[in-house]
Every structure is written in C-alpha cells, then in structure tokens.
Amino acid sequence: MNGYNFTLAGAPLVALGSGALHWPDQDLLCVSDLHLGKSERQARLTGAQLPPYEISDTLGRLESDLKLTNAGTVICLGDSFDDHAAVEALPERERLWIAALQAGRRWIWIEGNHDPGPVELGGTHLAELHQPPLCFRHIARPGQSGEISGHYHPKATLRAQRSSITRPVFLIDSDRVIMPAYGTYTGGLRSHDATLNELMRKEAIAVLTGKTPKPIPMPR
C-alpha cells in the first residue's frame, strides 16, 4: 500500500499518498476537507467559473481509496461541502454516488466551520468522535493528545538544487495529526505559518502526499 506508517498514542496508522488516513486495526479511513461544491459556490457568490469536475474528481479518488483499503468505517473530518447551499445544489448523479460509497459502511460526517454536516445525505453527524486512543475533530485544540484534525489544509515545499515542489502534507508529532485537504479545489496554509508552529511540537514531521509519500522535518 502506498503510504507512510507511523503510530499516534499507540495506534498504528498509515498516511496514504492521496491524503487519506488509514487505521487498519479499526478498519477505518479518514479524509478531511473535501469542500465538495466549491466550483458551484464560487459561481454563485462571485460569478467566477471554475471547471465543474471537482466533485467527481474528489469522489473518484475516495472511491479508489475505499477499494484499496476496503474500510468499513469512513470519517469525513469536517468541511465536506463548501457551504450548506452546495449540499442542496449537489447533482443527483453525485448524490447517488455518495450513497453507493456509504452502502454497507459506517459513515460519519464531522461538523466543520463551512458546514454543519450534510444531514440529508445519510450517515451519522457528530461534532467530534472519540474512538480511543484517538479523537477526531475538525479543528485542533492546544494541549490535546491523540488528536486527528483538519481545517488548515497544510502544505509544505521540498526544495532541491534547481527546483522545488509544494504539496499538501500531513503534519505529525507525538500528540496529533493535522490532515491535508482531500478536496480537488482547496488552497492551503504553509507549514511555517505561526498557527501551525504553535500547534505542532518541535520534532514534528511533514509527510508530503503524492505517488510516494515522503516524510521531511516540518518546514518552519
């Protein structure tokens, strides 16, 4: 499996190159910040026209990760849609696609700051989920341990002599994981931002997503 293996609070986890997090012992897959419907929201609020393929692209990658892991539980870690109106505007094809992905699985929508959880799409809707020894919530809280969160869309840059690459990353230390955004149309906060520096321990690493996930010291 294309991933980086590590432990958090004694739980063995795998950071997948796609940006999903796999917890094999619990048969669980976690994705964060799908921001489905972002192109619709941008058009509605600003008139800006983005190519309208982002929902199918994001759901296609999620479907691939579910086939890869065969996970029986899925946690969508907040900001699954860009706003509630984007849920209402979701085309029927994508509604049926989500229903097919949910079939036979425990599916949990965690509330985000962009959405309260798409309550009409099935699954369970929670502010946060405690599944010892881990806790899943949208926004990290200082002083927590065993925490999986999202929200910040962390990115980092790996520099070589003549080039550099910037990718979404997992930020990982002994207390927490901050997930990369999984959605196709998402920006990001550079890992050297003060907010992320305050949350992460000095020994934190960044795991770059991509074909081969690559751990590096967290750029600060």
- 188 has pLDDT over 60: yes
Three-state SS at 113: coil
CATH of region 3-217, choose from 2.60.40, 3.30.160, 3.40.109, 3.60.21: 3.60.21
Angle, alpha carbons 181-59-147 (nearest 5°): 35
Express each pLDDT in 207-218 by its tens digit.
999 999 999 999
Is the predicted pLDDT of residue 120 greater than 90, yes or no?
A: no
Please, which residues have CB within 8 angstroms of residue 210's CB and are 6 or more apart in sequence? 17, 167
Q: Is pLDDT above 80 for 39?
A: no
pTM score of the predicted model: 0.91
Q: Average pLDDT over the chain, rounded to whole?
A: 88
User: What single DSSP character describes residue 179?
Assistant: P
Q: Is 59 left (phi over 0), alpha (psi -120 to 50) or beta?
A: alpha
Query: pLDDT tens, 161-183?
Result: 677 888 999 999 999 999 999 98
**pLDDT confidence of residue 2:** 81
Query: Alpha-carbon distance 199 to 101, whole Å?
Result: 33
Domain-by-domain residue ranges, the chain? 3-217
Write down the pLDDT at residue 185.
67
User: Minimum mean pLDDT among 17-21, 37-41, 87-91, 92-96: which range?
Assistant: 37-41
Confidence at residue 165, expressed as pLDDT on a 0 to 100 scale = 82
